[in-house]
A and B are shown apart, each in its own frame.
Chain A
Amino acid sequence: MKAIYTRPKSLKPVSNHYCPGCGHSIIHRLVCELVDEMDMRGRIICIPPAGCAVLAYNYFDFDVCESAHGRGCAVATGFKRAQPDRIIFTYQGDGDMAAIGTAETLHAANRGEKITSIFVNNAVYGMTGGQMAPTTMIGQKTTTSPYGRRTEVEGYPLKITELIATLPGAAYVTRTSLATPAKIRETKKAIKKAFEVQMAGTGYSLVEVLSPCPTNWKVSPREAFVYLEETMEKEYPIGVMKDNTTKKDK
Chain B
Amino acid sequence: MAAKGKITINQGLCKACELCLTVCPDEAIRLSENLNEKGYHPAEPAKDSCRGCALCAVMCPEAAIEVYRG
Q: Do chains A and B touch in the complex (CB under 8 A)?
A: yes
A18 touches B12 (CB 8 A): no
**With contact pairs A20-B40, A222-B19 given, residues A184 and B58 touching in the complex (Cβ less than 8 Å):** yes
Chain B residues whose C-beta falls within 8 Å of the C-beta of A20 in the assembled complex: 15-17, 40, 61
A26 to B64, CA, bound (A): 11
A16 touches B62 (CB 8 A): yes
Chain B residues whose C-beta falls within 8 Å of the C-beta of A221 in the assembled complex: 17-19
Q: What 0/1 readout, one digit per residue, does chain A (13-51) give for beta carbons within 8 Å of chain B?
A: 001101111111110010010000000000000000000
Chain A residues whose C-beta falls within 8 Å of the C-beta of B63 in the assembled complex: 7-8, 11, 25, 29, 32
Chain B residues whose C-beta falls within 8 Å of the C-beta of A25 in the assembled complex: 61-63
Majority secondary structure of chain A interface residues (helix, strand, loop or mixed)? mixed
A5 touches B54 (CB 8 A): yes
Of the four ranges (under 10, 10 to 19, 20 to 34, 35 or more), the interface on chain B belongs to: 20 to 34
**With contact pairs A15-B62, A181-B55, A185-B58 given, residues A4 and B69 touching in the complex (Cβ less than 8 Å):** yes
Chain B residues whose C-beta falls within 8 Å of the C-beta of A2 in the assembled complex: 68-70
Chain B residues whose C-beta falls within 8 Å of the C-beta of A32 in the assembled complex: 63
Within the complex, the shortest CB–CB distance from A138 to chain B, in Å, comes to 27
What number of A residues sit within 8 Å (CB to CB) of B? Answer: 31
A15 to B60, CA, bound (A): 13
Within the complex, the shortest CB–CB distance from A184 to chain B, in Å, comes to 5
**Of A15, A16, A181, the contact of B59 (CB 8 Å cutoff):** A181
**Of A1, A15, A22, the contact of B69 (CB 8 Å cutoff):** A1
B65 within 8 A of A: yes
A222 touches B68 (CB 8 A): no
B38 within 8 A of A: yes
A225 within 8 A of B: yes
Scan residues 13-54 of chain B and give those whose CB is less than 8 A from a CB of chain A. 13, 15-19, 22-23, 38, 40, 52, 54
B68 touches A15 (CB 8 A): no
Chain B residues whose C-beta falls within 8 Å of the C-beta of A166 in the assembled complex: none
10 closest cross-chain pairs (CB), A and B:
A21-B17, A25-B61, A20-B15, A1-B68, A1-B70, A20-B17, A221-B17, A5-B57, A5-B67, A4-B67
Residues of A at the B interface (CB closer than 8 Å) are 1-8, 11, 15-16, 18-26, 29, 32, 180-181, 184-185, 214, 220-222, 225
Residues of B at the A interface (CB closer than 8 Å) are 4-6, 10, 12-13, 15-19, 22-23, 38, 40, 52, 54-55, 57-70
A-B CB contact pairs (8 Å), 12 listed: A3-B67, A5-B58, A5-B67, A7-B10, A8-B63, A16-B62, A32-B63, A181-B23, A184-B59, A221-B18, A225-B19, A225-B22
